[in-house]
Structure 1
Amino acid sequence: MITADTVFLVVDDADTMRRVNSSQLERLGARHILTADNGKEAFALLRTRKVNVILSDWNMPVMDGLTLLRKVRSDPKLAMLPFIMITAESSRAQITEAIAAGVSNILIKPFTANDLSQRITRAMNHRPRLHSPPVIAEPTQESKEEYRPTLLVVDDVPDNLALIAGLFQDEYRILAARDGRRALALCTSETPPDLLLLDVMMPNMDGFELAQHLRSHPSASRIPIIFITAMSDPAAQLRGLELGAVDFVSKPVDPKSLHLRVSNLLRLVEQRNALQQEYDTMLELERLREEASSISRHDLKAPLCNILGLARSLLEGGNLLPRQMQMLHSLETDSQNLLGMIDMAGDIYKIETGNFELKPVAVELLPLVRRLCESARLTYQAKKLTIEVVAEHTNESTPVLASGDELLCFSLLNNLLKNACEAAPEKSRVRLTLIPAEHIELVMENQPAVPVAFRSRFFEKYASDGKSGGTGLGTYSAKLLAEAQQGSLELEIDDEANLTRLRLQLPPRN
């Protein structure tokens, strides 16, 4: 995937890491590598230079990696650039945030050139597809089997090699080398070991010299080293620690002690690998969700256009009773609004990632609320609900004008009303009260009260309670749309009256 023409941009505030990442890219065949030491500098560079792939650290001064990612995704000319986020420590919430912002892949430090190569390939291959199913990379043979960490044992004495290898061969993959040069080749390969058990005294290249070579190599610099040596000189141990050794084991080896030291150290290695796998899975699931959503939006448009066309044909044909005319007009309006809501999915994504720009207009709320209630009465007539609208301190000649986006207001109110009607018991009441004030307020009430255990999660994405087939997106998107229009949406509970009350506020149009 990497060709001689591929241009990389490496963004990191640490000069050492910029050089390490650039060196790894060069080993993979890259010939054009640009660097920047923060997101602001990188974004300025993107304005003037052609770049094919961005590799960015997360934590940086001036502008961090997440802010850079959002700016790239919000720029039409840069939006499709593969963007790989590199991080040493991030919470799952932060990873979710990066996925929502459109990251192409995530790579946890430390990583090898092979890790980097795989994620560059995935990032450059990822493109949205409307008509073909999402492509999931086939797992390698090694990943299908139970993963076993790899130990490299280095000692010029065959008996020592056999002894140490025998201690671990049932639990780990064992590699052996009798000199430093062979060990260096194994450690700098595309599949380096997870842990190095290294003798110090060896001919040609001793253990200290080997460790020094490893610490200056991009993919081998973070391989944990345990020195196994007969040397007891404190100065020698200090030198080993300076070279990055994590432990010293004295000869003759105590098998039980060595086994515990190796197990404890490799447990940390396994935790890091598991974390990388979890983040990869989170990223893949989000991509699957996005592509499934894209396919659904595309496939929904055709039947909705057909419904709209049929409604218009029937209206144009005439010979209809007044009630039939009313129902067809309602069907026509709802079909048009649904088409608009499908097209609005792109705006929802922009709102979630902080890239939405509101262009407010005057939205007349009372007629909109009444149309939605009339449609809801038809939809939920089997439940025999009483759906009523109360407009306080206003009349038909005094419009209630909110400052916002008409389609966002429609979707917001429709979601709230649908949620209330679905939750309301048969023959109960759903009441909407419109109150013009400093902030225009709409209060929606229905039975029953939201269960106590669910109240804290009421507006969470994908959270649902007691509804078969519920997606948990209605109240989440409603709150999102309210806040995108400089408004607010709050949940209130009246346990005594067994009521759920939603209080929506929108700014007035002056």
Structure 2
Amino acid sequence: MAQVLKVLVVDDVETMRKVTAGQLASLGYGPIDMAGDGAEAWRMLERKRYDLVISDWNMPAMTGIALLQQMRASPRHIHTPFIMITAEAERTRIEAAIASGVSDLLVKPYTAGRLATSVQRAISHRAPEPAPGAQSAAMPAPPHAAAAGPVHLPPLAPPPPTLLLVDDTADNLHVLANVFKGVYRIKAAHNGEKALALCCSDTPPDLVLLDVMMPDMDGFEVARRMRQHPNAENVPIIFVTALTSDAARTEGMTLGAVDFVTKPIDPFQLKLRVANFMRYVELRRQLQADYDNMLAMARLRDDVEAMTRHDLKGPLAGAIGILQALIDAGDLDRRQGEQLRLAEQAMLQVTDMVNLSTELYKIETGKYLLRPEPLPISDVLRRVVETARASYAGKQLVIAVDTDFDVGTDPPVGLGDAMLTYSLLNNLIKNACEAAPERSRVSATLYAGSPLRIEIINKSVIPEQIRPRFFDKFVTGGRAGGTGLGTYSARLLARAQHGDVAFAVDDEAQTTTLIVTLPAAPPVLPA
């Protein structure tokens, strides 16, 4: 039964486009459009919405992976199912496709049945939604978390390859079946018509042992018709025949035979020949199974991250909001206030760790989708500084918050994600406090404007040898226990919000200034 599924097939080889489109049509999907490369496909995607994109990997103008990445960077196409067709065996390239948000991977050559499985998997899977936007000013609590989706477990190992035996003599079929019994899944056909039907089905065999001399439809005619059908055109054939002439062998090879065995057969040699070829079949099948497992494990990781985000970050943010409300109420004695601030600091640190573990990966792989909301930067900055004062009390630092906007005016409001902003400011102020000498001053100054600017200044300078790589991953100044992720993650978190982080070093004054820019929220117009 036909079902409406608007599909875009992308391949630079016209024959392959038509074969894939024909297979989809035979499965009842449509309407189907076709594009010759990624660039043409992108132009079509800009004009029209599709329910599924099926693309080859290697194409001129724009490759399949470039098309996938461009789609995932677009809010309009970020969730459109995408099947990548590939013959790639390089694991790192497949990992790149998975990280870029591919819905399914299809290894060439494939059957209509395998394509149907891939389509169903692709359209049934939807990438987890990004974390909801802020609700409270300093540390937002997401709305009631939606239940996490089903856990995706890796598929089982593939079954043994299927061997089709074709011969019009029952005794010959019996002998061949005994030779391969217990090694492969066996199918048998006693005439060409039945053999052709099995080969052209949605589950064709992996290899055919095909007799040539048969009534009604001989083996050569079976092979000729197989090569005209999309499900059977890539099925390998070993001809088994009493014909020994060069002309017969040439005709068989012309029809795509991978081997030619003469009767009477030597069961031991035939078994070796089939086993040798089946190794190539098994490698291709294992390649598909490996890609399926890699994709399943990536989805399992996404499921775990979604559960972490919903089941851990939500309650944490809610508890932080309650603590902050109690602290801001101002009706606590000194000891109670200190205890609540300690609890708040601990929860903020845990939230920061969870935030980085779940969101940083998405930002690195281009899967993060920002949902900006108005954000009182001064409140977030104040919370971070209060946490730093408690954490670095032993160094006797003076950690100050300054502002550069007119007294009596409303504090500047940023536009971004409160949790990301907290994490990036926390990392930078922590970095400044760790680098600062004891009994020195660390200042964080907020400047109004568009964009908003925050300057964090501390005594001591960044070592000259690491300045060109200061924001690179795992770069440290030799500090014991340093991970080299603080400034790296801070810049990523800022850029994910359309801001940035830079630094300036004054060697004469022996100071380092970290400069954060973030978008300012548009002014609220009077009603």
Confirm or deny: 8 A CA contact 2:200 2:231 kept in the other structure. Answer: yes
- How far apart are the structure 2 equivalents of 1:255 and 1:475? 68
- How far apart are the structure 2 equivalents of 1:312 and 1:213? 77
Confirm or deny: 8 A CA contact 2:191 2:215 kept in the other structure. Answer: yes
Confirm or deny: 8 A CA contact 2:490 2:501 kept in the other structure. Answer: no
User: Equivalent residue for 2:34?
Assistant: 35
Compute the displacement of 1:317 (Å).
3.2
Q: Aligned letter for 2:305? A: S
The answer to whether the aligner puts 1:61 opposite 2:56 as a matched pair is no
The answer to whether the aligner puts 1:301 opposite 2:314 as a matched pair is yes
User: Equivalent residue for 1:282?
Assistant: 294
Task: Note the 1:461-500 alignment, pairs <5 A.
Answer: 477=489, 481=493
Pick aligned residue for 1:202 from 195, 206, 214:
214
Aligned residues: 448
Confirm or deny: 8 A CA contact 1:482 1:504 kept in the other structure. Answer: no
**1:81-133 residue CA offsets vs partner (Å, 9 max, x unmatched):** 11111111242211211111111111111111111111111111113486444
Pick aligned residue for 2:185 from 168, 173, 186:
173
Pick aligned residue for 2:362 from 320, 327, 349:
349
Report the TM-score, using the length of structure 1 for normalisation.
0.72
Report the TM-score, using the length of structure 2 for normalisation.
0.70
User: Equivalent residue for 1:119?
Assistant: 118
Q: Aligned letter for 1:152? A: L
- How far apart are the structure 1 equivalents of 2:396 and 2:16? 62
User: Equivalent residue for 2:278?
Assistant: 266
User: Equivalent residue for 2:9?
Assistant: 10
Compute the displacement of 1:239 (Å).
2.2
Confirm or deny: 8 A CA contact 2:154 2:292 kept in the other structure. Answer: no
Identical counterparts, % of pairs: 41
**Structure 1 pair 507–133 and aligned structure 2 pair: CA distance change class (3 A):** closer
**1:232-270 residue CA offsets vs partner (Å, 9 max, x unmatched):** 222322222221111111222122211111111112212
**Structure 1 pair 184–237 and aligned structure 2 pair: CA distance change class (3 A):** same
User: Equivalent residue for 2:324?
Assistant: 311
Q: Kindly report the root-mean-square deviation, in angstroms, between the aligned alpha carbons of the 2 structures.
A: 4.8
User: What secondary structure, in the 3-state scheme, does the structure 1 residue paired with 2:101 have?
Assistant: coil
Q: Aligned letter for 2:217? A: M
User: Equivalent residue for 2:149?
Assistant: 134
- How far apart are the structure 2 equivalents of 1:58 and 1:267? 25
User: Equivalent residue for 1:465?
Assistant: none
Confirm or deny: 8 A CA contact 1:65 1:85 kept in the other structure. Answer: yes
User: Equivalent residue for 1:82?
Assistant: 81
**1:358-379 residue CA offsets vs partner (Å, 9 max, x unmatched):** x9xxxx9xx97x9868636746
Compute the displacement of 1:487 (Å).
6.9
User: What secondary structure, in the 3-state scheme, does the structure 1 residue paired with 2:171 have?
Assistant: helix
Confirm or deny: 8 A CA contact 2:327 2:340 kept in the other structure. Answer: no
**Structure 1 pair 379–214 and aligned structure 2 pair: CA distance change class (3 A):** farther
Confirm or deny: 8 A CA contact 1:211 1:243 kept in the other structure. Answer: yes
- How far apart are the structure 2 equivalents of 1:446 and 1:254? 71
**Structure 1 pair 136–225 and aligned structure 2 pair: CA distance change class (3 A):** farther
Compute the displacement of 1:412 (Å).
4.8
**Structure 1 pair 7–388 and aligned structure 2 pair: CA distance change class (3 A):** same
Compute the displacement of 1:283 (Å).
1.2
**Structure 1 pair 102–220 and aligned structure 2 pair: CA distance change class (3 A):** same
**1:61-96 residue CA offsets vs partner (Å, 9 max, x unmatched):** 101111111222222222221111111124221121
Confirm or deny: 8 A CA contact 2:86 2:106 kept in the other structure. Answer: yes
User: Equivalent residue for 2:439?
Assistant: none
Q: Aligned letter for 2:319? A: N
Pick aligned residue for 1:435 from 461, 480, 488:
461
- How far apart are the structure 2 equivalents of 1:418 and 1:151? 65
Greater relative contact order (Cα < 8 A, sep 6+): 2
Confirm or deny: 8 A CA contact 1:433 1:444 kept in the other structure. Answer: no
User: Equivalent residue for 2:437?
Assistant: none
Q: Aligned letter for 1:36? A: A
